[in-house]
Amino acid sequence: MPRIDRDGVGIYYEVHGDGPPLLLTHGYSSTSAMWHGQVDALARDLLWDMRGHGQSDYPDDPHAYSETLTTGDMAAILDAVGAERAIIGGLSLGGYMSLAFYRAYPQRARALLIIDTGPGFKKDDAREAWNARALATADKLDHEGLDMLKSATRERATASHRNARGLALAARGMLTQRDARVIELLPDIKVPCLIVVGADDAPFLAASDYMAAKIPGAQKVVIPAAGHAVNIDQPKAFIDAVTPFLKNLPG
């Protein structure tokens, strides 16, 4: 399967189908395999594994994990497949990184598909509480290894990773947040945006409402009987929500 080299860090990706490119990013401690149920129904899907996840590399250097490096990996995948622009989408951390990608490379995003995601925090105390949970996850991975994922949500419990250290470093470097630049970006987003959230994904319902209110022209779909991994919990309803949005994109 194809890989790109990013300063010695190998990044794994897959290309499925044809048509307009859609780059999909998985959630924290999941992998690109979480999208395999959707590839036949969507556009030309570009799937990939973030650093420290799945079939990508797990560098030992803590500085090899960051928001900036992650969005750079996404741009490099587009370069590798010859896509100047793409629909940029993701779930949870992958959705946050999709917003961060738009902030870094606005000219390369044709549209945004933001799934079961929060846009970060304006207030320092809320961000610090989030970061404390992310760091606790990293510490638990260091102590318990990959066994800790067995009690996680379905898409994480079934994910295949080579070691826990990369996931712990990713939690510290990529899941933690350092500023409010992504949430402050929302009113300036100028591409079509679809926000999808599971009705039972309580922690992200308010965040989805907030993004829908702040992003100009954003559409929002709430999918019944679905939790955090909405595309896995209700695959048909997810496709039914996303397909019209993709088909109606301008140009």
Q: What is the pLDDT of residues 196-240, one digit of tens each?
A: 999 999 999 999 999 999 999 999 999 999 999 999 999 999 999
Separation CA 228–CA 1 (nearest Å): 28
What pLDDT score does 154 carry? Answer: 65
Strand ranges across the sheet with 193-198: 3-6, 9-16, 44-48, 21-25, 86-91, 109-115, 193-198, 219-223
> Residue 23: which residues within 8 A CB-CB, separation 6 or more?
46, 48, 74, 77, 78, 83, 86, 87, 88, 89
- Please give the pLDDT value at position 40: 81
Q: Give residue 142's pLDDT.
A: 93
Residues of the chain below pLDDT 70: 151-158
pLDDT tens column, 134-143: 999 999 999 9
- Are 37 and 231 spatial neighbours (Cβ–Cβ below 8 Å)? yes
Q: What is the identity of the amino acid at 54?
A: G
pTM (2 decimals)?
0.96
The confidence score (pLDDT) of residue 157 equals 59
Residue for token pair 């300063």: 7
Q: Phi and psi of 229, rounded to 5°?
A: -100, 75
Q: How far is CA 145 from the centre of its chain?
A: 23
Per the rule left: phi > 0, alpha: psi between -120 and 50, beta: everything else, 58 is: beta
